[in-house]
Amino acid sequence: MADAEVGDDGYREDPTVNELQAVYAERVGKAAALFVPSGVMANQIALRVLTQPGTIVVAGARQHIVAYELGAAGRNAGIQFDPVDDSDGTIRAADVVRARQAADYHQPTTSLVCVENTHMPAGGVPWSLSALRDVREAAGDLPVHMDGARLFNAEIATGVSAAEFADEATTVMSCLSKGLCAPVGSLLAGPVDFIEAAVIERKRLGGAMRQAGVLAAAGLVALQKMVDRLADDHRRARELAEAVAERWPDGGCVPERVVTNIVLFHSRAPGRVLDHLRSEGVLADSIAPGLIRLMTHHDVDDAGIEQAKRAVAGAPH
Ligand SMILES: Cc1ncc(COP(=O)(O)O)c(C=O)c1O
């Protein structure tokens, strides 16, 4: 980062940012990409470019773009979500068809379909390509935006490349700052005209940065050196899930379903469990009432997992 060659990205003259955007566009098989400060901003830009105010966006009810962005979609894009069932991490093609047909019955027109891969609140579950294809087909001529905050976890867990997944969507975003370890930043990719419009929306949202190459340098390390090692996070999350399932057999954690880096379980006393874990040096949080989330990442090694397993074993019920 200290050695990064920089320029003014407001003028799109930062060579390191430009390189990062090109590397990501290639990884996800899109014509162009844009570096933005956060995943939320990437999703919001996609909404602002691909939708019109007063239209419907079909998305899973628990997806980040619906439930975890503080109502930003209404505030920034004036859209209305049709939040459909995503309890297994995917949405049904039939729900997309139903939403589109609703326009014939005085309901708002659908402008966009959003999917999340991997799906965080379902426990980091990756999509299958065939399920994605069904949704894409049901969307017809509507664009599909993929919130791929953890797309590379999906790639490593399934062997399906990020580009193959992204091929089923018009636009895709990924976070560099999660399992990929960069301190900050996300990328949004799609067709050239989409990215040209996205540059304007990024500016409107205050996300245009100047000498951002210092950040993009870390982003290049994220994309080029941090993807393959996600397999270690996935292996460790599975180990942790086994300890969680043993400690709370009724907590709903099924280790075989933990294929990426997220372990979720229900708790009747989440405050006490979180306090205990913290006292044992394990930081975790709830993502919904009574639903605790544990994550593995670069800085949790095998010794760290052993420590977390001991903390789980000794936690209150
Ligand atoms: C699936 C998903 N999408 C988007 C985001 C937003 O990313 P950021 O925190 O960089 O705004 C997150 C963050 O946790 C996420 O899990």
- Retrieve residue 142's tokens: 């509507």
CA 71 to centroid of ligand 1, rounded, Å: 14
* pLDDT at residue 285 is higher than 90: yes
Q: Which pLDDT score is estimated for 82? A: 97
Q: Which pLDDT score is estimated for 278? A: 98
Q: Are 127 and 115 in contact (CB under 8 A)?
A: yes
Nearest atom in ligand 1 to 37's CA: 10
CA 105 to centroid of ligand 1, rounded, Å: 35
pLDDT band at 95 (very low <50, low <70, confident <90, very high): very high
Helix (H) or strand (E) holding 171: strand 171-175
Q: Mean pLDDT over residues 155-176, rounded?
A: 98
* pLDDT at residue 241 is higher than 90: yes
- How far apart are alpha carbons 151 and 35 in whole angstroms? 16
Query: Topology of 9-225 in CATH?
Result: Aspartate Aminotransferase; domain 2 (3.40.640)
pTM of the full structure: 0.97
Q: Mean pLDDT over residues 165-179, rounded?
A: 97
Give me the phi and psi of 316, to 5 degrees please: -65, 155
Q: Mean pLDDT over residues 41-67, rounded?
A: 98
* pLDDT at residue 294 is higher than 90: yes
Q: Pocket of ligand 1, candidates 44, 62, 63, 64: which has the most ligand atoms within 8 Å of its Cβ, to mutate?
A: 64
pLDDT band at 36 (very low <50, low <70, confident <90, very high): very high
CA 149 to centroid of ligand 1, rounded, Å: 6
Domain boundaries along the sequence of the chain: 9-225, 230-313
Q: Which pLDDT score is estimated for 83? A: 98
Nearest atom in ligand 1 to 43's CA: 4
Report which protein residue has its CA nearest ligand 1's atom 6.
39
Q: What is the mean pLDDT of the chain?
A: 97
Q: Give the HSE-up count for residue 185: Cα atoms under 13 Å, Cβ half-sphere.
A: 27
How large a percentage of the chain has pLDDT more than 90? 99
Q: Which pLDDT score is estimated for 65? A: 98
The helix/strand/coil state of 70 is coil
Nearest atom in ligand 1 to 186's CA: 10
* pLDDT at residue 231 is higher than 90: yes
Report which protein residue has its CA nearest ligand 1's atom 4.
39
Q: Which pLDDT score is estimated for 317? A: 85
Q: Which pLDDT score is estimated for 87? A: 96
* pLDDT at residue 30 is higher than 90: yes
pLDDT digits (tens, 9 = 90+) for 114-160: 999 999 999 999 999 999 999 999 999 999 999 999 999 999 999 99
* pLDDT at residue 39 is higher than 90: yes
Closest CA to 170 of 154, 204, 194: 194
Q: Mean pLDDT over residues 176-205, rounded?
A: 97
Nearest atom in ligand 1 to 150's CA: 1
Q: Which pLDDT score is estimated for 259? A: 98
Q: Which residues line ligand 1 (CB under 6 A)?
A: 38-40, 43, 64, 116, 120, 147, 149, 175, 177, 186
How many other CB atoms are there within 10 angstroms of residue 148's CB atom?
31
Give the CATH H-level superfamily of domain 230-313. Answer: Aspartate Aminotransferase, domain 1 (3.90.1150.10)
pLDDT band at 247 (very low <50, low <70, confident <90, very high): very high
CA 64 to centroid of ligand 1, rounded, Å: 7
How large a percentage of the chain has pLDDT more than 70? 100
How many other CB atoms are there within 10 angstroms of residue 285's CB atom?
12
